[in-house]
């Protein structure tokens, strides 16, 4: 009897705002905040609760990179492959989506450090704010072997790595569209395994632990895997019920294996399955709340480290000066996490959205430019 839960097809299912991919986007952004804040309380969550609060950061980055490749392939793949959007237009659109917010937060952190030092409240760990590290980070080139980029708004290395992925996207796409879905899926998995083995053999690291200077090498195999998953999703129909159970099973398996250790490759399979399932399950009732939460996720990602530095810079002084008890210290920690969410929302509404509206208008109105309209919403973590 033929198994009808999976079959080939030619139509592309749309990505819907307020659906499962949006929900995943917000959940992962929230976990990134928790990961960055976990060590700032009286006792690190990794010590007091479970090591996954610290070691799980690589999983969140993996999701971020795979999801970016998946969504950009689903949203822009047809336009770029069909010539309706040039490689230059695609790169400009993606670069201008991430760089303005990055540079605003980078310069804000500079002002914070300079201002704090001027009034006698300098950083407790000044080695993380070395001036020679700043140019590479502000220029988003630290993931390409260019010296610098350590400290400051450190998580921005993944944005730097994605810049390289944006450049590679049109050229990878040219090869993928010539292959069938199962071949592309096998290629995505196989190339990641090859890259992982090469980095182990040549550099002594698994690909997910590559130093920041090799960030592009760390990101590209995962971004490519996301593109491969998207091409597979566009050509192979998966029954929604099967996709739903597969996603739930993968999430439970991910939680189970992470309870014991990293289990990087098993976890990668789980993350890939979750993303594939989220894209295959139809969104019958899109949620405006989920949509809005997902739209704020990039601001959550790009601002949370700066909020953490500012908040606990003040909180640690208050704790030392007033000898605050542990309960008060935990209250400050919870308030700091809440402040990260609140600041991200305000940044999204008051700063990032107006800037992006102006950029979109400029891109649309460029003399001689082709229309850059995209039929589906972008729901990747970086916006």
DSSP letter assigned to residue 221: H
Return the higher-pLDDT residue of 19 and 3. 19
- Write the pLDDT tens digit of every residue in 73-83: 999 998 998 88
382 contacts 155 by C-beta, under 8 angstroms: no
Number of domains in the chain: 1
> Does residue 34 form part of some domain?
yes
Q: Return the SS3 of 25.
A: helix
In whole angstroms, give the CA distance from residue 352 to residue 289.
Answer: 19
pTM strictly above 0.85 = yes
Band the pLDDT of 266: cuts 50, 70, 90.
very high
- Write the pLDDT tens digit of every residue in 125-153: 889 999 999 999 999 999 999 988 898 99
Structural domain of residue 39, as residue ranges?
10-365
98 contacts 383 by C-beta, under 8 angstroms: yes
> Does residue 4 form part of some domain?
no
Q: Return the SS3 of 355.
A: helix
With b for 16 or more beta-carbon neighbours within 10 A and e for fewer, the 250-270 pattern comes to bbebbeebbeeebbbeebbeb
> Is pLDDT of 367 > 50?
no
> Is pLDDT of 374 > 90?
no
Share of the chain above pLDDT 90, in %: 70
> Does residue 1 form part of some domain?
no
> Does residue 375 form part of some domain?
no
> Does residue 185 form part of some domain?
yes
- Write the pLDDT tens digit of every residue in 305-356: 999 999 999 999 999 999 999 999 999 999 999 999 999 999 999 999 999 9
> Is pLDDT of 223 > 60?
yes
* Phi (first) and psi of residue 374, to 5 degrees: -120, 135
Among 157, 267, 298, 153, smallest CA distance to 216 is for: 157
> Does residue 373 form part of some domain?
no
pLDDT for residue 10: 52
CA angle, residues 198, 204, 208, in degrees to nearest 5: 70
> Does residue 377 form part of some domain?
no
Question: How many CB atoms are located within 10 Å of the residue 10 CB?
Answer: 6
């Amino acid at each position: 009897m033929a198994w009808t839960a999976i079959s080939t097809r030619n139509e592309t299912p749309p990505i819907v705002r307020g659906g499962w991919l949006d929900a995943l986007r917000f959940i992962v952004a929230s976990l990134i905040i928790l990961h960055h804040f976990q060590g700032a309380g009286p006792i690190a969550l990794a010590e007091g609760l479970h090591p996954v609060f610290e070691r799980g950061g690589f999983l969140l980055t993996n999701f971020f990179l795979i999801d970016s490749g998946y969504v950009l392939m689903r949203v822009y793949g047809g336009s770029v492959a069909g010539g309706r959007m040039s490689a230059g237009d695609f790169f400009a659109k993606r670069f201008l989506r991430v760089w303005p917010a990055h540079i605003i937060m980078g310069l804000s952190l500079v002002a914070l450090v300079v201002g704090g030092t001027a009034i006698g409240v300098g950083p407790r760990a000044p080695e993380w704010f070395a001036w020679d590290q700043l140019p590479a980070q502000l220029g988003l080139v630290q993931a390409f072997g260019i010296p610098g980029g350590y400290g400051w708004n450190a998580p921005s290395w993944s944005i730097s790595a994605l810049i390289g992925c944006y450049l590679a996207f049109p050229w990878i796409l040219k090869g993928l569209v010539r292959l069938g879905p199962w071949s592309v899926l096998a290629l995505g998995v196989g190339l990641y395994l090859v890259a992982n083995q090469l980095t182990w053999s040549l550099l002594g690291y698994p690909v997910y632990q590559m130093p920041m200077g090799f960030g592009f090498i760390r990101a590209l195999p995962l971004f490519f895997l996301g593109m491969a998953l998207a091409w597979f999703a566009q050509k192979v129909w998966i029954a929604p019920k099967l996709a739903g159970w597969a996603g739930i099973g993968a999430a439970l398996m991910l939680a189970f294996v992470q309870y014991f250790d990293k289990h990087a490759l098993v976890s990668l399979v789980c993350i890939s399955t979750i993303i594939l399932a989220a894209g295959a399950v139809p969104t019958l009732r899109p949620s405006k709340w989920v949509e809005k939460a997902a739209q704020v996720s990039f601001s959550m990602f790009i601002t949370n480290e700066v909020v953490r530095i500012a908040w606990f810079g003040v909180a640690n002084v208050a704790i030392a000066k007033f000898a605050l008890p542990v309960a008060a210290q935990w209250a400050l920690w919870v308030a700091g996490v809440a402040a990260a969410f609140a600041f991200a929302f305000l940044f999204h509404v008051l700063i990032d959205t107006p800037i992006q509206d102006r950029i979109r208008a400029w891109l649309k109105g460029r003399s001689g430019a082709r229309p850059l309209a995209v039929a589906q919403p972008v729901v990747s973590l970086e916006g």
